[in-house]
Every structure is written in structure tokens, then in C-alpha cells.
Amino acid sequence: MARKEQLIESKPKSRVYQSPRLSKTEPLLPQKSSGIYINRELSLISFNERVLSLGQDRSIPILERLKYLCIVANNLDELFEIRVAGLKARSHEELGHSQLPDGLTIEETLTILGKRTQSLVQLQYEILNKSVIPELKKEGINLLNFLELDNQQKRWASAYFKNNVLPILTPLGLDPLHPFPKVLNKSLNFIIEMQGKDSYGRKGRVAIVQAPRLLSRIIEIPKKNKVTEITFINLSSLIEAHATSIFPGMEILGIFQFRVTRNSDLYVDDEEVTDLRQALKGELSQRNYGDAVRIETDKAISSFCLNYLLTEFKLETKDCYLVDGPVNLGRLITLPDCVAKPNLKFKLFSPKYPEYLKGGDLLFDYLKREDILLHHPYECFDVVAEFINNAAEDKNVVAIFQTIYRTGSTSGLMRSLINAVNKGKEVTVILELMARFDEETNINWASKLEEIGAHVVFGVVGNKTHAKMCLIVRQEGKKLIRYCHLGTGNYHPKTAKLYTDFSLLTSNKSISTEIHEIFQRLTGLGKVKSLRHIWQSPFRLHKNVIRAIKNEMMITKGGGKGKIVARMNSLVETQVIDALYEASNCGVSIELLVRGVCMLRPGVAGLSDNITVRSTVGRFLEHSRIFFFRNNGKNDLFLSSADWMDRNFFRRVEIAFPIFNESLKKRVFDEGLQIHFTENAINWRMSSDGSYQLRKSSSNQTISCQDGLLKKYS
């Protein structure tokens, strides 16, 4: 067995891991479904169940556990805004009878998905109320409703409501002249049931109050003298407690919070659009008012108010989620930042700046000698930022080519590019306008860059530019030398601290020449040239992955040892799954690390006996894509921006790039793949029915791969 395939010898120090309640998720498939694929939407719910398990893990600091509950809430928002909304739209068009790849119809999928999500949400609030809030209280952090405050706190809260909340509320009484208002996607609202007559003699029955988004959803109540406890009240509780102040003189029968999730996918007709930016601006203005797909409301809501809301939003009872707590649970993610208690959070760490780069040389000088590999967030993203900033400042740099998918509303990278333009360099930016939920940010950056003279290109209509590439062209003597950065993650300073990704900086002529060719394709017109080293979609990435899988089959049939190890966020493309099944039947050893959705069914006799699937969830979001093919000991290894999904293979501009340097290749293999497959690594193992079990070693001593890497790079 090759050295790269052996278990690592130097293991991080073990710690006991307490298995949470969700140590095994329920099977994803109903009894009648025996297809060879797992349902995509149900697999996504299973991923969120694994994330929710971290909210139950008592070895994790309590404020971090609260964050996991909020992350699940935000994930479910996107599930409904995009996936459920899309299925519902298809169901209306196709009467719900169309079969999905796993064999379930759309209607069956929506039914099972609804039941699973209802259970997940119920557990989410159970963890919040029975575990997280009581444990926060023990630590001196109180998250209370208005009735739980003492008299002094109530007086303060009432004054706060009168001075800071009431002046910006607009109560809307509903009658023939005041129809039901447009309710913004995911906004906090209240429906009020009342009786009585107002000063105009109008009979009141129903009213709506919309909470402005600028209001903080949690409000800190000032401490009493010498009191160390911190007390917060939810905005929803504060508004509910003061309904009579909003509707003076009326008898309030009930006030109930609610929140509506709408279809938020943008549609732009590739064949009809003439100006993508203008078309997107028009779509963005309507995103918050798409068709309703879910409603969340207080579990105590009256049947009258519930039926009223369901009728207005054209929803059914199954689309309603009754919750025991704030409907906008995701907004509680700001609470940990309001509390200065480091012992209740993950231990702070500073991403490591590589020692070998501290000699003072320009990165360009170092890259003439050898490549640089960075493993984020363990190693700091500052090196990448420095690479681009150096290019902006260096008088010898003549051109910068850059792709942007997500970079944030404030970005040092974008400031560097603007600086480069101002210094007279040729700057070309391939800026993806269709990056979901970042469209407006990217439109704003495009305008700023164009105003100062940068070349801004919006990629290829119908193919999102998702590849992470930066190419620097530098005049050195009489030659133009290319340097490039290639990565698995975005050029986003915030996510670079939260996502695990790899970066490669290189001056390798073969790689940099092909990257330049890709940029030329994106900005200009011309026939596709064959790339020898880089696999690019939508042209060759899919074919090359299939070919590499088939090659391992041929090697195994010839008496060799075929081996595939790959990690990604999602695995859903059925041709690749079929090829993996075929390879498994030939005896190829296949190990897959799939963080989220996986439609492949591992461990099925006669189909996938030699395939194992694991999933790692933890402090950081596992985001790297790594493809390893043993190839008779050549150990081909690629880093990529692409998951194994239809969209990445056929409807996006993606790249998979090889690591040539053997020592760097070993680092990627060891840190990005092998550590997750050690016997005592903490991760989830997928069963053939689509359920997941938390893996535990026989000694019950397990290690976190992320903790091990944090220790290594600290």
C-alpha cells in the first residue's frame, strides 16, 4: 500500500465525544422506494439533522450550540426559498406526478419532506427551550419574554418600547379599504385579533403589524447595580406585551407572531435578455414578494387567525410550522457577539501565517522557486490578499485577471483591484451577477469597477462563473511571466475564516498558460482549445471525472489496485454515481467524504459494496473539493471549485486543477482526505437506506479532525 494510503501515524490527542440524541437519523426512504439513488431533498434534511446534533453536543460551548440552532434555521430558509419553491412550481405544472431520479414523485417528496422538516423544527425548539436557554441562564445569560422580567425590568422595557419601537410601527387595521398588506419575505409580523369600535366607529376584528427590519430582534436590558447577569428580551415578546398600546381602546383577543417564506429564486430568460444587469435589477425588486411556500407562527395562535393567514397566503395546514419561541430563530445568531464571555465560545485562534514566507521576499520571488499551498482557515487568507495587493502596487505588474463569485459588501480584494486600475494596470474582472443572494452586492461592485475603467465581464449567459481564479501578468526583463492563485473557496474575507478550503499559488507555466486561456474564453469569442492539465466545465470536467473512474476500473480488472478518494459538498449527478457503482462492482475501493447532499447509496450488495460515504460537520464548514485517483501509483490529485452536481458539470464555469508538487500533494491528501477516514475520527457514516450514524471507535476515544488541524497549525 502506498504511503499516501496508510492511516496517519501522528494522531491528534483524543477527547471523549458525547453522542447527541441524533446519533442515528431516520431512514430517508419510504418502504416502497428501492431505487439506486437517495432523494436529494430528503438528503438535505438529513444534513441539517447532523448540524442540529451539534446543538445538542455538551462538549461544545453553549453559545456555539446556540449558533448551530440558528444555522439550521437559516439553512431551512434557503431550503424552502429555493428547493421547496421549485418543487411546488413543478408540481403545479406537472400535477405532481413526475418522478424524481430516486423514484418518488414530486408530491410524495413534498409530503415526506414536510413531515421530516416538522420533526426537525420541533426538535430544534425543544433543544432551545429545554437545553440551551436553561444552560445560558446558569451562565448568567437570560433570554426572557416580557412576563418573565421583574418589575424594574418591565418598566425599562415598556419605556424602551414607547420611545424606540412604537414610533416606527405602522398598525394596519384590515377592512374593505385596507386589504391585507404585502408581507416581505422572512420578515417578522404580527396578526392581532380584537373586538370593539375605534374613534371612527369602525369595528375592529383583524389587524397586522410589521416589525421593521432595522429593529434588533434581541434587546439587552440594562444591568442593575453590581449584577453580573445579562438579560435579553425578544422583540417579538416586547411587541406582543404592548398590543394595547398599539391599538388603544380595543379589546385584544390575541396577538401572534408570524413569518412567511417565499419563492426567492430569480428567473432570467437567457434567450430574451439583452442586458443581464438590468434584467436582474428588475427581478431583485420582486424577490421578496414571490409565492408563499411556508408560514411559521406561534403555536398558541387561534384557529381563526391561522385560517385567515393560510387563506391570504394560499397555503395549506401542512405548510404551517407552529413554534414554541421566536419565529425568526436565525436572528438569535447575533446574541453571542453581544456577550463578552470567551469561555462560552470556541477558543479563539489566529490563522497561521506560513513561517517560510516571513523572510521578506515578494511572493513573486518565492513563487519563482516553488508553489505555495494554503489550508484555510488554519492558514490565513492574508497571503492571498497580499498576493493581489502586491500585484496592485508592483510597478512591474501589467495586468490582473480575476473571477468574483462572492466577496462581500466590504472587501480588501476589491479595494486592491480598484487601486490597480488607478495605477494604470489592465484589470479584467469576471464578475458573476447570478451568485445567489449576492446579486445586489456584485452589481454594486461592477458599477464601481466600471466607473474607474476596469474591464468588467459578466461571464457567459446560462453558465455561472463559479471558478476561483486570479492571474497576474508581470514584466520581468524582456519576458511576461504569469502567476496565479487557484482555490476551492471564494475571495471572501469572512468565509475564509469559517470555511475549510485550499489555495494554490503558482507560477507553473503549464497551469498559468491554461488559466490565461480560460480567461480568454470568458471575455472573448472563439473555439474551445483542448486543455491538457486543467479540467474545465462545461467542456471536459465531467468527461474527465468519468474517464478517471473508468481508468481505476481498468486497472483493477488488470490485477492492479484501483482506488478513488473524493470529497465535495454534494454528490447528485447520476452519470457519475452510476460510474462509481460500476467501479465498485469491479473491486475499486471508493471512499467519499460528502458534507451535505448525497444521492449515492453506499454498501448495497451487488451495487456499491466497496463504497463508503462519510460526512464531517463541525466548527468550520467543510468546503474543499478534492479528487484523488490512484492511477497505478501516480496518485493523481485535483483541487476544484466544483461539486459533483449537474449544475457544476454542465451549467457552470468550473475548474479542477492538479497538484504537481509531491510534498504539497501529500499535504492535501493527509489533511483534506485521510484524516477524515481514520478509525477514530468524528464523522457520520452513511448507510444504504440514507440514514447516518455517528462513528465511534471501540475505545470510545474519538478525535475531531478540525481540532487536530487547529492544534497542528496553532
pLDDT digits (tens, 9 = 90+) for 222-253: 987 767 889 999 999 999 999 999 999 899 99
What is the dihedral sign for C-alpha 136, 137, 138, 140? Answer: positive
Look up the CATH number of the domain holding residue 86.
1.20.58.310
Share of the chain above pLDDT 90, in %: 70
Q: What is the pLDDT of residue 35?
A: 82
Query: CA 76, CA 74: separation in Å to the nearest integer?
Result: 5
Q: What is the pLDDT of residue 270?
A: 47
Query: Which residues are within 8 A (CB) of 247 and not within 5 positions of it... i.e. 6 or more apart?
Result: 171, 173, 192, 194, 204, 207
What is the dihedral sign for C-alpha 585, 586, 589, 595? Answer: negative
Q: How many helices (H) and strands (E) does the chain have?
A: 20, 29
The candidate with the shortest Cα–Cα distance to 39, out of 48, 23, 27, 24, is 27
Using pLDDT thresholds of 50, 70 and 90, give the confidence band for residue 587. very high
Q: What is the pLDDT of residue 698?
A: 53
Q: What is the mean pLDDT of residues 397-402?
A: 95
Roughly what angle, to the nearest 10 degrees, separates helices 574-585 and 541-557? 10
Structural domain ending residue among the three candidates 466, 497, 523 = 523
CA atoms within 13 A on the CB side of 510: 9
Do 115 and 147 fall within a single domain?
A: no
The answer to whether residue 1 is domain-embedded is no
Lowest-pLDDT range, 254-268, 394-408, 534-548, 563-577?
254-268
Q: What is the mean pLDDT of residues 180-203?
A: 88
Query: CA 25, CA 114: separation in Å to the nearest integer?
Result: 16
Residue found under cell 393567514: 309
Q: What is the pLDDT of residue 255?
A: 96
Do 84 and 159 fall within a single domain?
A: no
The answer to whether residue 241 is domain-embedded is yes
Residue range of the domain that includes 461? 355-523
Do 102 and 214 fall within a single domain?
A: no
* pLDDT above 80 (res 355): yes
Do 426 and 481 fall within a single domain?
A: yes
Using pLDDT thresholds of 50, 70 and 90, give the confidence band for residue 30. low
Which carries the bigger pLDDT value, residue 175 or residue 209? 209
pLDDT digits (tens, 9 = 90+) for 513-532: 999 999 998 988 777 778 99
The answer to whether residue 560 is domain-embedded is yes
Provide the b/e sequence for 645-665 (b: ≥16 CB within 10 Å).
bebbbeebbbbbbbbebeebb
* β-sheet bridge partners, residue 684: 615, 694
Look up the CATH number of the domain holding residue 679.
3.30.870.10
533 is catalytic: no
Using pLDDT thresholds of 50, 70 and 90, give the confidence band for residue 8. very low
Do 679 and 540 fall within a single domain?
A: yes
Q: Which of 466, 485, 623, 676 is catalytic?
A: 466
Query: CA 57, CA 625: separation in Å to the nearest integer?
Result: 27
* pLDDT above 60 (res 22): no
Do 87 and 191 fall within a single domain?
A: no
Q: What is the pLDDT of residue 226?
A: 67
Task: Tell me how far CA of residue 204 lies from CA of 42, 176, 210, 255, 351, in angstroms.
Answer: 44, 12, 18, 14, 59
* pLDDT above 80 (res 284): no
Mean pLDDT, rounded, of the chain: 88
Using pLDDT thresholds of 50, 70 and 90, give the confidence band for residue 269. very low
Query: CA 118, CA 299: separation in Å to the nearest integer?
Result: 13
* pLDDT above 60 (res 164): yes
Do 555 and 588 fall within a single domain?
A: yes
Q: What is the DSSP letter of 494?
A: T
Do 420 and 501 fall within a single domain?
A: yes
The answer to whether residue 460 is domain-embedded is yes
Query: CA 55, CA 50: separation in Å to the nearest integer?
Result: 9
Q: What is the CA radius of gyration of the chain?
A: 27
Do 147 and 293 fall within a single domain?
A: yes
The answer to whether residue 20 is domain-embedded is no
**What is the domain count for the chain?**
4
Q: What is the pLDDT of residue 346?
A: 94
Q: What is the mean pLDDT of residues 188-212?
A: 87
Q: What is the pLDDT of residue 463?
A: 87
